Amino acid sequence: MVPFTNPPFAYRDGHLYCEDVALKDLAAGAGTPCYVYAANGIRDRFRAYQAAFQQMPHRICYAVKANSNLAILRLLAELGAGFDIVSAGELYRVMQAGGNPGAVVFSGVGKTRDEMAYALHAGIHSFNCESAPELELLATVARAKGLRARCSLRVNPDVDAKTHPYISTGLREHKFGIAMDEALDLYRRFQDEPALEWIGVSCHIGSQLLDVSPLAEAAEKLVAFVATLRANGIAIQEVDIGGGVGVRYHEGEAAPELSVYGQRLLQAFAGAELTIVAEPGRSLVAEAGVLLSQVLYVKTSGEREFVITDAAMNDLIRPALYDAHHEIVPVHWQPRPAMVADVVGPVCESGDFFARNRQMSVVEPGELVAVCTAGAYGFVQSSNYNTRPRPAEVLVDGARWRVVRERETLAQLIAGETV
């Protein structure tokens, strides 16, 4: 049976393609390991979000942390995306890519004074704040600049996102947000602060949500909370519901339909006269990317079979960090026997694996494999561990492709260091 792949990746005559480009041609041109992204795959997903929200005032702010390559930011900016950032570095990227700072929301529990100043100066749309001391510092920084900071408070709706504990954020026990009762006090306390302007309420309950119910439940709680705020004389215009829906990493997995997600949110927002802001990251880019790698060796050790690839945990850390599943498929497919193997990289630790005890087709040294659904939280979480250059990144657009980040050189690996 032909291996599972997410569109826009598909086999044609036994060769795996990204849109209209064969991955074998990319490997020949750009080398391996490299990340490959499908421009039209990303555009389609963005348009699906727009369609899901078309019946309500909305703003889609792409979560830059999912994949911050300039070419991808540019592509989304061209479609009219706003951006959700969590650092001055991400804001710098957005502006370098031609994104509009006026459509940026700044999330995160630990913004520094310098980051606030930079973002205020750039004229971002709003700050999603998470504590009283943060609001105090933001007011101080804004006052010093003679500016006003538009703000939302990130509240904690106490909803269980039912996802991996490391990426679940909406419960009281988490470091994120402020409990709703405490938040009301803060909205009141800072209402008369001239350097701040309340515009919204935000939340983010977690990532990789395969059920939209917790998102709808959080939205309902936020909309109800807005009514309380408005009754207290606080003029709220928008509700930011945080990240988007989950994606399909397994063949057996079903990701939520964006139309269903939109419908549920529409119900939650009915009659509320609010702009909905969403910060999807993963669901815009994950399925549009693979990590392309070459098999270096196949070895048997005791009972176990190991497939050793030229990509490693420093390139894609999700399996090592979250025990995440990524399908691994041969780039040239022909019917062949199956085996059970561990797919591992060259890094010197046992945590360096892409798959363990994986039922997969027999692969041979020298052949190419694609680690699927790697467009989100892939390259952005890469490192130089073991002094390995980070991989190239390639963007495919129909039948054209180009390198949008060069593979690092040995000289770049030691840049900035001295003896």
DSSP code string of 225-285: HHHHHHHTT----EEE--S------STT--PPPHHHHHHHHHHHHTT---EEEE---HHHH
Q: Which residue in 35, 53, 77, 84 binds ligand LLP (CB under 6 A)?
A: 84
Q: How far is the CB of 287 from ligand LLP (least distance, A)?
A: 12
> Interface with ligand LLP includes 207 (CB under 6 A)?
yes
Tell me: does residue 177 bind ligand LLP (CB under 6 A): no
Give the burial class of 178: count Cβ atoms within 10 A of its Cβ; 0-12 exposed, 13-18 middle, 19 or more buried: buried
Chain residues 89-128 in contact with ligand LLP, contact rule CB under 6 A: 107
Interface pattern 304-323 for ligand LLP (x via CB under 6 A): --------------x---x-
Taking alpha carbons only, the member of 124, 129, 77, 88 closest to residue 108 is 129
By CB under 6 A, the residues from 48 to 67 that bind ligand LLP are: 63, 66
- Please, what is the minimum distance in Å from the beta carbon of residue 175 to ligand LLP? 11
Which residue do the tokens 């979480």 mark? 381
Cβ atoms of 290 and 7 within 8 Å: the answer is no
Rule CB under 6 A: say whether 244 interacts with ligand LLP: yes
Rounded to the nearest whole angstrom, what is the least distance from the CB of residue 334 to ligand LLP in the complex? Answer: 32
Q: Is 221 in the site for ligand LLP (CB under 6 A)?
A: no
Task: Choose the binding region for ligand LLP from 34-42, 239-247, 294-302, 350-358 (rule: CB under 6 A).
Answer: 239-247
d(CA 25, CA 256): 33
**Chosen residue from 177, 243, 256, 289 binding ligand LLP by CB under 6 A:** 243
Q: Is 377 in the site for ligand LLP (CB under 6 A)?
A: yes
Q: Please, which residue, 26 or 288, has the CB nearer to ligand LLP?
A: 288
Question: Residues near 66 by Cβ (< 8 Å), separated by ≥ 6?
Answer: 281, 282, 284, 285, 286, 376, 377, 380
Question: CB of residue 230 vs ligand LLP: minimum separation in angstroms?
Answer: 24
Question: What is the C-alpha separation between 77 and 67, in angstroms, rounded?
Answer: 14
Beta strands in 77-181 (DSSP E): 82-85, 104-106, 126-129, 149-156, 178-179
Q: Is 348 a known active-site residue?
A: yes
Taking CB under 6 A as the criterion, the residue among 150, 282, 326, 358 binding ligand LLP is 282
Q: What residues from 134 to 173 belong to the interface with ligand LLP (CB under 6 A)?
A: 167
Looking at the Cβ atoms of 167 and 266, the one nearer to ligand LLP is 167
The answer to whether residue 279 forms part of the interface with ligand LLP (CB under 6 A) is yes
Quick one: which segment of 14-22, 137-145, 251-259, 275-283 binds ligand LLP (CB under 6 A)?
275-283
Query: Which region, judged by CB under 6 A, interacts with ligand LLP, from 227-235, 236-244, 267-275, 350-358?
Result: 236-244
d(CA 369, CA 309): 9
**How far is the C-alpha of 363 from the C-alpha of 360, rounded, in Å?**
8
- Cβ-proximal residues to 173 (8 Å cutoff; 6+ apart), any chain: none
Tokens of 216: 């709808």
In whole angstroms, how far apart are CA 129 and each of 94, 115, 177?
A: 20, 13, 8
CA distance 342 to 322: 16
Q: How far is the CB of 13 from ligand LLP (least distance, A)?
A: 33
Token pair, residue 139, equals 């007011």
Spatial contact of 185 and 137, defined as CB atoms under 8 Å apart:
no
Report the nearest approach of ligand LLP to the CB of residue 381 (Å): 6
Coil vs helix vs strand at 301:
strand
Which one of 4-12, 237-245, 304-312, 359-367 is the stretch in contact with ligand LLP (CB under 6 A)? 237-245
User: How many residues in the shown chain lie near ligand LLP by CB under 6 A?
Assistant: 19
CA atoms within 13 A on the CB side of 373: 22
The yes or no reply on residue 130 touching ligand LLP (CB under 6 A) is no
Question: Would you say 16 or 77 has its CB closer to ligand LLP?
Answer: 77
Annotated catalytic residue within 18, 203, 348, 372? 348
**Binding footprint of ligand LLP on the chain (CB under 6 A):** 63, 66, 84, 107, 167, 204, 207-208, 242-244, 279-283, 318, 322, 377
Which residues are identified as catalytic? 348
